[in-house]
Amino acid sequence: MQNATGSASRRGPVLAVAAAVTFTVAMIAWYLISYVFGLPPTVDAHANGRGTAITLQTVAATGHAPHPDWVSYYAMNPSGKWVHGTILKVPAHSTVTVTVINFDGMSGLRNPFLSQPRGTIGSVSVNGKPLRVMNPDEASHTFTIPRLGVSVPILGVGDNAPNQCDVPAPCPMSTAHTTTTFTIKTGKPGWYRWQCFVPCGAGWIFGNGGPMQTVGYMDGYLQVA
């Protein structure tokens, strides 16, 4: 509309500007649309001896673009490959065995209430031993699905443990880690968010920025289908 007052004899530059404006707006529109669509990849649960299982690992830093310094979960797909995705697809009304292999250090819970595992079927096993309650300062992350009432603290790797993982994710099993295993029951079909409640986004105020607020890092969905 800027061009409308131009006299009829000067249509050339007017049309060029109109084309430029249209092009810019179209590019912005395209950019916005491609920005909003696009969830991280969905990872199917895999079968183990007795049923469905999810295997996750947490790393202190992905080591990859676009966020090499961000703490993140990884999930194992049915062919045994680690995928950088946190949308986990599991069957409805079934029991799922969850294994979390943690390579990250101890960050500490903000709300010590979450130091106790709850909502699981049977007990939670940490490095083979049953977990009653964890020292809140030793927690590295939690695996929490609020709508299912499930919350399990994940033990951190001690600072003095030998052979810390310092390669780009996923971390090899030969590096220092803790293993947490538990069983949950899924409910009706739907999308259930899960997240970590340990403020582990280092550098952000309250530790709750960046990876803590990005699906694909410390947040995800349990896609119950």
Partner 1 sequence: MHERGHIRRALIIWAVGSVIAVLLIIFALGPHMPPGSATEEAKSQRFTNVLLAAVMAPLALAMIVAFLYAIITFRNRDGSLGDGPADFGDSRLQLGWLILTSSVVLLLAGLGTYALYEEPANAAGVGAGGGQGPAPIQRTSLNRLVVQVIGQQWQFTYRFPQYGGVETFRLELPVNRPVEFHVTSLDVVHAFWAYQLGVKADAVPGADNIAFATPRHLGSFDIRCAELCGVWHGEMSDKGLIVAPSAFTSWITSQRRANAPATGNLPPYARSYFPDPPGRAG
Partner 2 sequence: MDILGSGIVRGIVGAVVGYVIFYLIGRRIGNTIPYVADLDQNDPAIFIGYLGAIAGWLAGLGFLAYPLRRMAGAPADIGSDRHGGGSMRYLGLCTDHKVIGLQYLGAVGVLFFIAGLNAMLIRIELLRPASPIYSPGQYLTIVTLHGTMMIMIMSAVVVGPFGHYLMPLMIGSGRMAFPRLEALSFWLVPIAGAILMSSVDFGGMAIGWTGYPTLANQANAGIDGYIVAFALIAFAMILNGLNILATVIHMRAPGMSWSRLPMFVWGIVATGALMALAPMVFVAALVMEALDRTASTNFYVASGGGSPFLYENLFWFFGHPEVYILALPGFGIVLELLPVFSRKPLWGYRLGVAGILGVAILSFAVWQHHLFVSGINSNLRPFYMLTTELISVPTGLIFLVGLGTIWGGKLRFEVPMLFSLAFFFNFLIGGISGVFLSDVPSDVTLHGSYFVMAHFHYTIMGGLVFAFFAGIYYWLPKMTGLQLNQRLAKWHFWTMFIFFNTTFLPLFAAGMLNMPRRVNTYDPDLRGLNIWVSISAFLLGISMLIFLFNLVWSLAFVRRPAEQNPWRSRGLEWQLPTPVPADPFLEPPVIEDAPYGYGDPRSVPVIDPVPESP
Q: Does 166 bind partner 2 (CB under 8 A)?
A: no
Which neighbouring-strand residues pair with 95? 185
Question: Beta strands of 111-218 (E only): which ranges?
Answer: 121-126, 129-131, 139-145, 150-155, 178-185, 190-195
CB 62 within 8 A of CB 168: yes
Distance CA 40, CA 208 (A): 20
By the rule CB under 8 A, 193 interacts with partner 1: yes
Taking the least distance from each CB to partner 2, the nearer of 12 and 122 is: 12
Instruction: Name the residue nearer to partner 2 (CB basis): 32 or 167.
Output: 32
The interface with partner 1 within residues 137-156 (CB under 8 A) comprises 144, 146-147, 149, 151
Using rule CB under 8 A, residue 67 touches partner 1: no
Measured from the CB atom, is 20 or 47 closer to partner 2?
A: 20
85 vs 153, which CB is nearer to partner 2? 85
Q: Which of residues 23-52 bind partner 2 (CB under 8 A)?
A: 24-25, 28-29, 31-33, 35-40
The continuous run of DSSP H or E covering 22 comes out as helix 11-36
User: Taking Cα atoms as reference points, which of 111, 102, 114 lies closest to residue 145?
Assistant: 114
Pick from 83, 106, 148, 215: which binds partner 2 (CB under 8 A)? 215
CA distances from 143 to 182, 187, 221 (A): 11, 17, 11
**β-sheet bridge partners, residue 87:** 42, 221
Q: Does residue 221 belong to the site contacting partner 2 (CB under 8 A)?
A: yes
Binds 146: which of partner 1, partner 2, none (CB < 5-8 Å by kind): partner 1
Which of partner 2, partner 1, none has residue 116 at its interface (CB below 5 to 8 Å by kind)? Answer: partner 1
Q: Which runs of E-coded beta strand occur in 60-177?
A: 72-76, 82-83, 87-90, 95-102, 121-126, 129-131, 139-145, 150-155
Q: Which of 91, 110, 123, 187 binds partner 1 (CB under 8 A)?
A: 110
Query: Is-contact 200 140, C-beta < 8 A?
Result: yes
Q: Which stretch binds partner 2 (CB under 8 A): 47-55, 150-158, 164-172, 210-218?
A: 210-218
Judged by the rule CB under 8 A, the positions of this chain that interact with partner 2 are: 1-8, 10, 13-14, 16-18, 20-21, 24-25, 28-29, 31-33, 35-40, 66-70, 190-191, 201-206, 208-210, 213-216, 221
